[in-house]
Amino acid sequence: MRTLSLLLTSLLLTVTANSLFAGSITGEYLEARTCDVYTGPCFANAEMSLAGKEAVMAWKVDKGSWNDVSLSGLGVAVIVKAEGTLGNDGVFPMKAGKMAAVIIVDESASAEQREALVAFVKDSAAEYTKNVIKVVSAPITLQNDHLEGKGHFSAGKLAAIQTRKMGKKDCVCTNEMIYYQPLTKVENFSPAYTLRQSYQGDGLNGKWTNNNTRSAFLATFRVKS
């Protein structure tokens, strides 16, 4: 009887675990903006409507499928430019105004995977992909070291993010907090110091490079497919 009970318990745990992971897509996420996301309210207020109008959002799929198409090992990014500051302080969303986006898909994706990647980011970042100017391909890499706060994303020569861990020297007013939330639903997020964020592609009426700001998030994601 005890053996049967242990067997049933084991089967129940297996079924429960499988149900938790079934139909989900998981991986790493890295984001950087052109304003501080970890900052004091006084600094944030000074930047509103002046900075933070651009963002680079990147996903690397570890495992999973979207629309029954396997995306394991592939990357995708959304580059956004708005009229005003992008973001949400957890209470009130900013009035970003009109937005435009460019989607960058992994060049190693097949035509079917490319379509699925676009569908995935349009679902994950729906608010920021209502006006997609174009979809382009590039070699994508994304690696996060959450303990060290190190994130590295590159999409060929089109876009890049490089971060390091936040330190005491990055505290300016002693009243810093995570002022803005990540732009999309993620898990295990933490702010990081952006050494470099760049978009050098076309389609958004301008290119930008933003260095040495407290403007990034490292995170993981799990989305039901």
The yes-or-no verdict on residue 178 having pLDDT over 80 is: yes
Tell me how many helices (H) and strands (E) the chain has. Answer: 3, 15
Nearest partner of 64 among 30, 22, 109, 107, judged by Cα: 22
CB 215 within 8 A of CB 33: yes
Give pTM, 2 decimals: 0.86
Which of 16-25, 78-87, 120-129, 160-169 bottoms out in mean pLDDT, i.e. has the lowest? 16-25
Instruction: Collapse the DSSP code of 16 into the 3-class scheme (helix H, G, I; strand E, B; otherwise coil) and give the result.
Output: helix
Written as six digits, the tokens of 169 are: 């020297």
Q: How far apart are CA 111 and CA 139, in angstroms?
A: 15
Q: How far apart are CA 72 and CA 27, in angstroms?
A: 9
The yes-or-no verdict on residue 137 having pLDDT over 80 is: yes
Question: 23-38: per-residue pLDDT in tens?
Answer: 689 999 999 999 999 8
The yes-or-no verdict on residue 88 having pLDDT over 90 is: no
